[in-house]
Amino acid sequence: MTQPQPRTVLFDHDGGVDDLLSLMMLLSMPHITLAGVVVTPADCFLRPATSATLKILRFFERDDIEVSEGDLHGVNPFPRAWRAHAYAIDALPILNESTAPLPQPVAEPGHEFLARKLRAAESPVTVLMTGPVSNLAEALTREPALVEKIEEVVWMGGALQVGGNVRDYEHDGSAEWNAYWDPPAVYRLWQTDAPITLFPLDATDHVPVTTDFLLRLARQRRYPLSDLAGQCWALTVGTIPGYEYTYHMWDTLTTGYLGAPHCITFRQVRTEVIPSPPSAGRIKEVPSNGRLIRAADKVDVESFHAYVLELLKR
C-alpha cells in the first residue's frame, strides 16, 4: 500500500458522534498535522461538544492544538435529540479519567479562526469539514484571496443521485443535513474556486455502521482507543427509528479518505446548489455549466473497515 500524502489539516466539525470519532482518527494518522479544530453548533449542543473535543485532545496528549467555537447559525436547526449525543460522549469515563485541567477554546469565533490559520499557512492546507460549511464560506466571503491557501476542501455533504436525509416541514427530502442547515453558505462556497472533494450520501450510503464491524472492534478492545471508539458507536445503535437503515460512517469515511484514499473511487461532477425551499440545500447534478467538483462514489468497504480497525489500535 502506498503512503498517503502528508497534509496539514484544519478540521471543522459539528460535534456528532461521527464527528468526534473523526477527530480521533485524524489524531491517529501519522502523516497528518492538525493545525486547528473548529466546533460548529449544528448537529450538537456547543458546550458538551467543545468539552468532548478538548477531552479527546487531552486523551491524545495534544492540548497544544487550538480549538475554536463557531458563532454562526444556520436557518434549519438539527433535531434536538441528535444534538444531545455530545453530552454522552463528554461523560464517558475513559475521557474523564485524567485530572489534567482542560484548556479554554480560543476567544475568536470559527470563521475568524479559520481565516487566521489560512493567512498564516506557509503552504496550502486541507480544510476538512464534517458539518455545515458556514465558517469557511464566511471566511472566504470576507477575504476571497484566502482561497489560494486551500489545497483541498474535503466535505461530508450533499446527495447527488440518491435521496437526501432531511425529513422536515417545507422540504422535499432531496437534501442532506449538513447542506440543509445553512444552504446559503453552501451556495457561497460553490462560487469560490476552492477545489472541492465532496462525500455525498451516494458514497456514505455504502458504509452503515454494521454489527459485524462493531464486533470486530470489540475484539480489539484492549486498545484504549478502540474501546473509546466502540463506546461512541454504541451510543448510535438504535437511535434511528424508521426511515434510515442505521447510523452511517458519514464523517468517518470522509476523514478516512485522508489516510486511505485507495478505498474510494471518485467522479468529476457538475453541480448546482439550491438555496431555497422546497429543495433548500440540495446539491444537484447538472449536465453542463454547473460548478465542477470531485465527488466520492464507490467504497471498498472491506478495505475501509480494515483501515479503520488498524488505525484504532492504540
> Mask 36-75, x = binds Ca ion (CB under 5 A)?
----------------------------------------
Using CB under 6 A, pick the residue from 40, 76, 165, 226 that binds ligand AGV.
165
Compute the distance between CA of residue 14 and CA of residue 246 in angstroms, rounded to an integer.
Answer: 19
Contacts of residue 184, Cβ cutoff 8 Å, sequence gap at least 6: 75, 275
Site string for ligand AGV, 210-249 (x = CB under 6 A): ------------------------------x---x-----
The number of helix segments (H) and strand segments (E) in the chain equals: 13, 9
Residue in 7, 12, 16, 260 binding Ca ion, rule: CB under 5 A: 16
Sign (positive or negative) of CA dihedral 285, 291, 292, 294: negative
Quick check: 99 and 70 in contact, CB under 8 A? no
Q: How far is the CB of 16 from Ca ion (least distance, A)?
A: 4
250 interacts with ligand AGV by CB under 6 A: yes
Per partner kind, with CB cut-offs from 5 to 8 A, the member of ligand AGV, Ca ion, none near residue 12 is none
User: Which residues between 108 and 137 bind ligand AGV (CB under 6 A)?
Assistant: 130-131
DSSP character string of 61-95: T-TTS-EEE-----SSPPPHHHHTHHHHHHT-GGG
Least separation, in Å, of the C-beta of 287 and ligand AGV?
A: 26
Q: How far is CA 207 from CA 8, 201, 297, in A?
A: 26, 10, 12
Binding site for Ca ion (CB under 5 A): 14, 16, 19, 130-131, 251
